[in-house]
Each structure stands twice: as C-alpha cells, then as structure tokens.
Amino acid sequence: MNFLDKYQEETYALLRIVSGFLFLWHGAQKLLNFPVEFAYPLNPLMYAAGTIELVGGLLIMIGLFTRPAAFICSGTMAAAYWMAHGINDIFPILNGGELAALYCFVFLFIAARGSGIWSLEK
C-alpha cells in the first residue's frame, strides 16, 4: 500500500488527536459525570486516574507536552490493565481489558514518536 506512504505524518497526527480525544472522555466521565454518569464510587486512585485521563488526553490531543503526557497515560493504562482486568483472566477478550491494553501501547508509541504535525509543540 505504497500510496499511503505520503500520508504518514497526517495519519500519525490523526492517531494522536483522536486517541487523546477519546481518552479525555474517560476522565470527564469519572470527574464530571459527563457525558454520562460514572457507575462506580470514586476513591483517591480513581480521582488520580480520572485526572490523568482528562488532562493527559487533552495534552495529547492538542500536542502539548506530548511525550511526558503520553508516557504517563501509557503507564496509567498498564496499571489499570493489571489492577482491574488482568487479575480476572489471562485473555483480554475475557477480562475486558482490550481498551486499556490498546491505549497503553498507542500512548507508548506516541511517547516514543512525539507530537508530530498539527500540534502546539511545533
């Protein structure tokens, strides 16, 4: 699929922007009960996770402090996977942790690659 080679920077920017946008809504749900009420009671760990999701997702989306924000978000999702999902079953499809695992590795990739085009850092 060589025809996509010339769009590598744009597709990476879309991955960063959309991933950050989707991630910030997890934090908005936890902290603001928006756009839908969060179903579980919040403890200090959940408040911390919600803050990382909301602020980290926003920073990744706009491309500001992208590398450290993505690295922290990646670690948060690794911890979420092993604390909430991995203890239930080894297979992500059975433990419900596919989204946490995917976010973990997408954010690790973003942390390694940086903000790219369409960001406030460039």
- List, for residues 2-45, the tens digit of each pLDDT value: 999 999 999 999 999 999 999 999 999 999 999 999 999 999 99
**pLDDT over 80 at 93, yes or no:** yes
Residue 1 is predicted with a pLDDT of 72
CA of residue 57 relative to chain centroid, distance? 6
Mean pLDDT for the stretch of residues 47-75: 98
Task: Tell me the average pLDDT of the chain.
Answer: 96
Task: Give the integer Cα–Cα distance in Å for 57 and 51.
Answer: 9
Mean pLDDT for the stretch of residues 93-117: 97
Task: Give the integer Cα–Cα distance in Å for 88 and 104.
Answer: 18
Residues 62, 121 contacting (CB under 8 angstroms): no
What residues does each domain of the chain span? Answer: 8-113
Residue 78 is predicted with a pLDDT of 98
